[in-house]
Structure 1
Amino acid sequence: MDLQQRITAFARLGEYLRGFDKNKKFSVTNITSPAFQNLKNEVDSARLRNSWFVQENVENMLFSLGKSLELSKLEQWTSKYDLDKYDKHHVKTIAVIMAGNVPAVGFHDFLSVLISGNGILAKLSSDDDKLIPAIADLLLEIEAGFKGFIKFEKQKITGFDAVIATGSGNTARYFDYYFGKYPNIIRRNRNGIAVLNTTETKNDFEKLANDVFMYFGLGCRNVSKLFVPEGYDFTPMLDVFSKRIEIKNHSKYFNNYEYNKAIYLVNSRPHLDAGNLLLVEDESYASPVSVLYYEHYNDIMQLNKKILLDSQSIQCIVSNDKGVKSSFDFGQSQEPELWDYADGVDTLGFLLGID
C-alpha cells in the first residue's frame, strides 16, 4: 500500500467511528458491516469487562477518535513528514505496549505505526483488550492491505525493531530495563492541569467539568490539578461541578469519593466538597480518583516557569488566559489533534527515524 491508500483507509475508519456520535447514533452508511457490528457489540459490553468503561465514555472516545480521522486532518498531519520516501525503506516491526486506563487509549500509537508503513506488534492491557482488536478488524475490512501488518500478542513479545510503551512510573522503570537497548518511546504518568484567573464564566466551568470528570478522571489528559490566584472563589465552579450528579451512580467512583472524604475528615484536612468531587490544596499533580488538587499562584510569568520546570509531570494545560503557554481551551483536553503527541514526543518522527 502507498501512503494515500493508508490515509484513505483511516479516513474511512473515521467515518465509522464518527457514527458513535451520541446525537446521531450509527449514522455511517454501511452499518451492516460485520466488523462494525462487532465493534458496536464490544462497546455495548465493555462495562462487563471493565466497570470503568461505561458505554457513554467508550462511545465518546470512539467519536473523538473519529473526528481526528477526517481526511483533511490526516493529510495535514502526514504532510509534515517525508512518508513517500520512507515507503521505499524496509518495513519495521514496532512493539506497542498499551495502557488500559481509558478506552482505546493506545489508538494513536496504532495509527502512527500503520500510517508510517510499519507493522505493529501490540501487547494489550487486560483492562482493555477488546476495543483495539475490534477497531483493527474494521480497518482490515476497509483495507485488506493491512493484513500482515497487525498482530496482537498475549504472551512475551519478541521479534521487533523498536518499542513504544505506556505505563505508570513503576512499569516505566521495568520498560527501561527490558527495552533500553531498542529504539524506544517510554511514557510515564502525567496529568492535565488548568490555570484559572477569575474571568471564567459558567460556560467555561461546564467545559472544565468535562476535562475533570470525563473517563472518571483516569486519563493522563484529565485535569487533576488547578492553579488559581490567591483568594480565588471556588463557589461558582463547584456549583457547576455539583450538577454532574450522574457520576455518583458509578459505585467505584462514589466509593473512592466517600473513602477520600472520610480520610480528610478523620485527619482534619481542609477541603471543599461538591458532593461528587473533593477539592484539596496540594502541590502534587496526580490526585486520587474523585479528588481535584489546587495550588495558588501570584504571577503568570512565574507560573509559566514552574510549569516548564514540572513539564515531565504535565500532559496538557487548559486555560482561557492567553498568557499561559501551550494551553488548550476549556473542554478540549480530551480532544487532541493528531499532532498533539503524548508527552510532547513526536511519535511519527520517531518511527521515521528508526534505522
Structure 2
Amino acid sequence: MTLETKKSKFVELGKFLSQFSSIENPSKNDVLGNDLFFDECLNLIALSQSHNGWYTPEQVCFAFQSWAKALTQEKLDQWLSAYDFTDRQPKTIALILAGNIPLVGFHDFLSVLISGHNVLVKTSSNDQHLLPFIAKYLIHIAPEFKDKITFVEGKLENFDAVIATGSNNTARYFEYYFKDKPSIIRKNRNSVALLTGEESREQLEALGEDIFRYFGLGCRNVSKLFVPKNYSFDAFFEAIFKYKEVIEYEKYANNYDYNKAVFLMSNFKLLDNGFLTIKEDNGYSSPISSTFYEFYEDIDDVVKRLQDEEDKIQCIVSNNLISNSIPFGQTQSPELWDYADNVDTISFLLTIK
C-alpha cells in the first residue's frame, strides 16, 4: 500500500469519526462503511462508560472529534512531508498503551501504520474497545491492513521495537525488559499554565477546558498554575464556573470529596469552589479534582525552572510568555506533529532496521 493510499484511508476514518459529536447525530450519506459501522459506533459510545467509568459519551465524542479534525488530507500532508518513506522494510512494532483518556494511544498506532510497519498492540485494561473498533473499521475500508494489525492480550512476542507508555514505576520495568530493543518509553508528565494576572475572562474560561477535559486525567491536562505574588483567584474561579457540572459525575465527585478530606485532615490551606480545590504546592502532579499553584516574583525564574525540568512537563499554557507554549484551551487538541514528550515518533520508526 502506498503512502498516498494509506493517507486516503485515514482521511476516510476522519470523515467517519466526524459524525460523532454526540450520540444523537444522524449519519452522513457519503461516508464509507456507515451501513455496517455507524450504529455499532453509537452503541460503543453509549457503552464506553460501563467499560470505564471515566469514558462518558461526551468525553469519547470529544476524542473522536479531535481525531476527525486531525485526519484531513491537508494535515496529513503537512505532517508527513518532512519524512522520507522510500525503501523501508516493514518491521513489527509493539505498542503498550495507556488507558487514562479515550484513544490515548491512537497517535502511536497511526504512526506505525503510516510509516509502513506492522503494529502489535497491547491495550490497557481501561481501554480495550475503542482502538480495536477503529482497527476493524480501517480493515473494512482497506483490507490490506488486516495482516498489519494484531492485538494481543498476553505476552508480547516477535517484535522488532517497542513504544510503551506507563507510570514512572512501570517505565523502569519497561526500560529493563526492553533493554535489547529499540524503544520509546514514556513516563509520567504533567502540564502547567503560566499566568500574569492580565488574562482575559475568555482565556481563563479556556484554561478551564485545559483543566477539566477528560476530568483532568491526561498528561496534557493542566495540573499546576504559576501565578504572580499576591495573585487573586477571584477572576479564575468566576471564569471556570461554567465547568461546575463536572461534579455531577460520580467518579469525579468521589475523588473531590476524598482528596479534599485528605487535604483538610492534613491542615493544608485550600481554596475551594465546590468542584475544584486549589492548593499551594511546588509539585506538578495534583490529584483529580485539584490543581496546584505556586507564586512567583520573577517570571524569568519560572521560565528557567520549566526549562530545567522539561522532562517532567508535557505542555505549557501561556499567553506567548514562553517559547512553544500552547494557547489557552488547546492542550487537548494537539496537531499530528505535536509529539508526546517531544520525541519524534516517525523519525524513530524510520530508523528501525
TM-score range, shorter chain: over 0.9
Give per-residue Cα distances to partners, 1:194-215, cap 9 Å, x unaligned: 1111111111111111100011
Q: SS where residue 244 of structure 1 aligns? A: helix
- 1:136 alignment partner in structure 2: 135
In structure 2, the residue matched to 1:6 is 6
Superposition map of 1:230-245 within 5 A: 230-245=229-244
Indicate which of 312, 328, 339 corresponds to 1:330. 328
Q: Give 1:222-301 correspondences, 5 Å limit.
A: 222-301=221-300
Match of 1:350 in 2: 348
Contact 1:100 1:128 in 2 (8 A): yes
Gaps of 5+ in 1: none
Aligned residues: 351
Alignment-mate amino acid for residue 334 of structure 1 = Q
Does the Cα contact within 8 Å between 2:190 and 2:223 map onto a contact in 1?
yes
Residue 323 of structure 1: CA displacement?
A: 2.6
SS in 2 for 1:148: helix
Q: Is the 8 A contact 1:39 1:131 kept in 2?
A: no
What secondary structure does 1:272 align onto? strand
Q: CA deviation at 1:22?
A: 4.1
Gapped regions of structure 2 (runs ≥ 5): none
> What SS class does the counterpart of residue 248 from structure 1 fall into?
helix
What is the deviation of 1:245? 2.2
- The structural deviation recorded for 1:25 is 2.4
Q: Is 1:17 matched with 2:33? A: no
Q: Write out per-residue CA displacement over residues 163-199 of structure 1, whole angstroms, 9 at most, x where no aligned residue.
A: 0000011111111111111000000010111111111
The Cα shift of 1:27 comes to 4.9
Contact 1:35 1:137 in 2 (8 A): no
TM-score (norm. length: structure 1): 0.96
Contact 2:23 2:57 in 1 (8 A): no
User: Taking structure 1 as reference, are residues 296 and 27 closer, same or farther at Cα in structure 2, changes over 3 Å only?
Assistant: farther
Give the match for residue 37 of structure 1. 39
Q: What's the offset of the Cα at 1:23?
A: 10
- How far is 1:300 from its partner? 2.4
Compared with structure 1, are the counterparts of its residues 76 and 23 closer, same or farther at alpha carbon in structure 2 (3 Å cutoff)? Answer: farther
Alignment of 1:151-230 (within 5 A): 151-230=150-229
Percent identity, please.
47
Give the aligned residue type for 1:61: A
* 1:310 aligned residue: 309
Structure 1 residues 283 and 275: CA distance shift in structure 2, 3 A: same
Q: CA contact under 8 A between 1:241 and 1:274: conserved in structure 2?
A: no
Deviation of the 1:301 alpha carbon: 2.2
TM-score (ref. length: structure 2): 0.96
